[in-house]
Structure 1
Amino acid sequence: MGRPKTSASGASKRTEKDAERALNADSKSPTSNSKKRHATKETRSSKTATSPSTTSAPVVKRKRAQSEVPTADDVTSNKRSKTGRPSKDQTKSRSAKSRESEAPALPAAINEVPQDILTVFVFGTGENGELGLGPKKNEALRPVLNPFLDPSSPDAFHIVDFACGGMHTVVLSAKNQIITWGVNDNKALGRQTDWDGGLRDVDAESDDEDDTTLNPLESTPTEIPAKQFPPGTRFTQVAAGDSCSFALTDTGLVYGWGSFRDAQGNNRFGYDTDGNIIATQETPIHIRGLPKITQIVCGDNHTLALDTKGDIWAWGYNEQNQFGRHLFGRQQDSFVPSQVRVCRGNAKYIASGPYHSFAIDRQDNVWAWGANSYGQAGDPKSAGGDSAVLRAPVKIQPLCQKKVTTLAGGAHHSAAVTAGGQCFVWGRIDAGQLGVVFTPEQIQDENSIRCDDRGKPRICLRPTTVPNVEQAVDVACGTDHTLFINKSGAAYSSGFGFQGQLGLGSSDDVEVAALIKAKTVRDRCLIRTGAGGNGSIVADIAKRN
């Protein structure tokens, strides 16, 4: 969900487009994880940030890793002692089972645990470990199998669900493990990642490229310790924002960690059990005040949850009306979950972009609210203003009664897939985000396309089908790129490609949705995709758990 990270070399390639994007960025968009990590690897390694008005601290660099990369699994041995009696580990295990049997019964499950084990392929740029390929691999211009998630390896994590955040990823394993990797500056990984090998003397001379080593605790998929959750907890879904993460249980509870960030760069997560403000939550905690939840999704700095009654709940920052209304009175605290006043008792599905939100009701109406500066929330009337915000949820009329099954949002564009396989896109178009080349007739139609002052097409006002992605089954929006999966299991991509997040083997932008032809996925039947700020994921079913 975060904005793409840029570099000095990237700026030289994209001066005109990058400058234009900077001028047109939403004025209220908060500082993202990607901006924190915008500095070079040397300055990123510094433990304290330096403001422009202060004297710069001495530059330090990361050291070569001093210890082995963490393994994917750590299974306790089940051997007996030489006497034939149970080992100490077995005795402890039996004691734990005895205590578990004496514990009060857990609430009945309302959410189904995913059963399909996925083969996960990643691509893009991971200069801070975002790809999860370990401390020596920080780029993949085409999809590569993540070895730590290889379903054919008994030592790897076997994945059943995943969510891409701004610069981190959260996944759920078949063994009920929550695994994370990527940037942990605001504790989005939910675990300890301090690394003694992270710094070295700047005066040490070395021309060896291999001397640059990523933090293995960030760049390697690693489990959040199970002790962080109550015994018997069973997870069914994960969600990720810019610097926050959440996990949903089978009984409808939500756990979260990390931080939300406002437009001024202030961090806030919520409250502890004593009512004290939490700026950054380092480990998972239960999100109180929510009823039985069946689905969770994240924007950059807000979270939505759907309950069993069909009500939608929101918390986090509401600076661009991501909650669909202004808060007041007893509900003015946005870090206490409150109801979104749309589809009350009638919602069946929710989705989110970084600063806008979606819902589908049981009558098959599609609703949206929040940021709409490029029409990403689907309202053509208010689209075009740099700070356009929908003050209340509105119906996206062209999508109503179309049996939409999936919605996704990028920074300034959105997409939808219907049960019949149609893929609709709308919003910002100047970098190929939508994967569609519009005809002269469409461009001249003011009800379809809005142009800028120079006559350049800028906004697609109406949901428009993507012609060369036949029978779509899934879609995901990164900050400024889009990934499509069709019924044949092929993946397509378009949009901003500077960081290799299109998986097409180059860093070029792509205007028309192009087939990802990598050998690794050529014979695969892909079913799911995900997109973050500078990395992407596609996956197929390896086997049923």
Structure 2
Amino acid sequence: MPPKKRHQKRQAAANRRKTPKTKSTTSTVSKRNPPKAEVAHPRGKATGAKRALEEDHANRLPSKRARTTLVRKRGRPASRPAIPPTINHPPTEVLAIIAFGNGESGELGLGPNVTESTQPRINPYLDPRDPSAFHVDQFSCGGMHTVALTVTNQIITWGVNDKSALGRETDWNGGLRDIEEDSSDSDGDLNPYESTPAPVPEKYFPSGTRFVQVAAGDSCSFALTDTGLVYGWGTFRDSKGEDRFSLDANGVVVEIQRKPACISGLEKITQIACGANHALALDATGNIWAWGASEQNQLGRRVLPRRYLESFKPSRVGVCRNNAKFIASGEYHSFAIDRKDNVWAWGLNSFGEAGDAKGAGGNSILVPYPTKVRDLCGENIIHLDGGAHHSVALTADGRCLAWGRMDCGQLGIDFTSEQLEDISLIRYDGRNEARICLRPTEVPNVGHVVYACCGTDHTIFIDKGGKAYVTGFGSQGQLGFGSYDDVQIAQPLQSGETEGRTLTGAGAGGQFSLVAALVK
């Protein structure tokens, strides 16, 4: 071989010995990942070359494996969202639902052919003895509709749906009758989709949602889940007749919520309650939340006109912070019981329904902020409810106290002559007629009461033995006595449908009533 070529060959071999064998490997890694700063290793360059080969091998593994684990910014593997724990449990007792009163808009839920029943009548669509019927375990009456919960976790609704209070489609092309047709024949006059109980579609709720309580207002409905979420639909109507339900994520007003929607801002809720056009929620930490119409201060706070729309977002009530254990509502006033057994009230008080005797019947018709009802504090109150202008409270030992408007027999109390002469207890109107009971007063003739509820101007009491007593305004047959008369003193509800049944609960709207009985 010529000397020149032998020299070139030796030079090339020398160059190869000077160049580390890992250089090509390092260049391959740099195409996959940005260059890393070199770190000195006590074992020298041979160990560095081995590490580079191991990194190259790792980077050549299939890319699918690298994408199977998401990494948080802090370097910890991401986990799936935790399922909220169950904090509420549904009732399990199946109930027979018995209706009476006016049902010209389907409020009774007895189907399209029944517009009225002045005596109690069992609802065949909810008959526990019929396996094809809906089996109800809890319900709530609004002004002109009802929401019920079944043991199979369905939400059932019936009544007026003009503002989507039923949470389902009820469009109907029928109902148009020939003008010469006999108007006395009312069969089939009602919208069958409103007058017949039917379920809110399950598709409106996430799979696996379990309900434990429902509540109804004038044109709104709400449902509470076992994990403490609240769903709602319908609308609130303010004193100007304007409809508003909520604000969306962009702050735009939702006038009518036509399908159930989860109420933003509420979590870990354990109880819900409705007035005519406002709602309350109690959370697991003992805080109260309120939203809806606010002109009567039923939300427990003054809402400035420029911030009026904010009242349709749940806001914490400034009382019983971390200390409330029960909430209730009248149509335009609200109640709370704290863990020290104090009773608080706020909202409309024109007839003393919010428990403020000083302002009743005068110019100070509102209780603007939550205020203690002194006559109820320390009485061990376990339940409250309210109508338009009257209220009731139950004690743990079975006494029922009532106060507020009394001129139509709303309270059911047979006042003594001494009571009627007590100006600190009874306030008279300009015609010298007893108009307002200023202080909570025991209803003496209804036995040991375990439940009580208020309609707009009537009241239903359930005693320990399972018997119902009814009193108040009766012009629509809502008292169940087969007449349209008012009743001044609470009377026992007696009929073939209630005879021999054990009644456990009740509900009342503006012109209709429901009582619930255990299965025979």
TM-score range, shorter chain: 0.7 to 0.9
Aligned to 1:234: 210
Which digits, 9 at most, give the CA deviation of each residue in 1:278-317, with x for residues without a partner? 1011110010011310000000000000001100000001
The separation in 2 between residues aligned to 1:388 and 1:327, in whole angstroms, is 17
**What aligned pairs does 1:51-450 form with structure 2 within 5 A after superposition?**
106-202=83-179, 204-207=180-183, 209-211=185-187, 213-327=189-303, 333-385=310-362, 388-450=365-427
TM-score with structure 2 setting the length: 0.82
C-alpha displacement of 1:398: 1.8
Tell me the distance in 2 between the aligned counterparts of 1:196 and 1:367.
Answer: 48
SS at match of 2:310: coil
CA separation of 1:211 and 1:153: change in aligned 2, threshold 3 A:
closer
Alignment of 1:493-512 (within 5 A): 493-512=470-489
| Contact 1:257–1:284 (CA under 8 A) maintained in structure 2 | yes
Deviations 1:29-59 (A, max 9, x none): xxxxxxxxxxxxxxxxxxxxxxxxxxxxxxx
Residues 385/156 of structure 1: CA separation in 2 closer, same or farther (3 Å cut): same
| Aligned mates of 1:400, 1:341 — CA distance in 2 | 19
Q: Displacement, 1:332?
A: 6.7
Give the unaligned 5+ runs of structure 2: 1-79
Rounded Cα–Cα distance in structure 2 between residues aligned with 1:119 and 1:332: 41
Please report how far the alpha carbon of residue 105 of structure 1 lies from its aligned counterpart in structure 2 after TM superposition.
5.8
Q: Which moved more, 1:357-366 or 1:517-526?
A: 517-526
Note the residue ranges of structure 1 that are not aligned, 5 or more in a row.
1-102
Query: For 1:196, what is the secondary structure of its paired residue?
Result: coil
CA distance in 1 between counterparts of 2:385 and 2:183 reads 44
Change (3 A) 1:505 1:386: farther
Higher RCO (C-alpha under 8 Å, 6+ residues apart) = 1
In 1, the alpha carbon distance for the partners of 2:184 and 2:234 equals 35
**Following TM superposition, by how much is the alpha carbon of 1:541 offset from its aligned partner in structure 2, in angstroms?**
2.3
Percent identical pairs in the alignment equals: 59
1:539 corresponds in structure 2 to 516
Classify 1:144/1:387 alpha carbon distance in 2 versus 1 (closer, same or farther; 3 Å). Answer: farther
Q: Cα–Cα, structure 1 residues 431 and 330, in superposed 2: closer, same or farther, change >3 Å?
A: closer
Query: What is the CA RMSD across the aligned residues, in angstroms?
Result: 1.7
Cα distance, 1:198 vs structure 2: 2.8
State the number of aligned residues.
441
- What's 2:36 paired with? none
Conserved in 1, the CA contact under 8 Å of 2:501 and 2:518?
no
Structure 2 counterpart SS, 1:217? helix
SS at match of 1:521: coil
Assess if the C-alpha contact under 8 Å between 1:130 and 1:181 holds in 2: yes
Give the counterpart letter for 2:389 in structure 1. Answer: H
CA distance in 2, matches of 1:324, 1:222: 35
Change (3 A) 1:105 1:144: farther
Larger radius of gyration between Structure 1 and Structure 2? 2
The CA deviation string for residues 209-259 of structure 1, in whole angstroms up to 9 with x for no partner, is 045520000000000110010101000000000000000000000000000
User: Hey, what's the Cα distance between the residues in 2 that align with 1:273 and 1:226?
Assistant: 24
- Contact 1:331 1:338 (8 Å CA) reproduced: no
Kept in 2: contact 1:434–1:494 (CA 8 A): yes
Q: 1:522 is paired with a residue of what secondary structure?
A: coil
* Aligned mate of 1:465, from 436, 442, 445: 442
Contact 2:246–2:255 under 8 Å retained in 1: yes
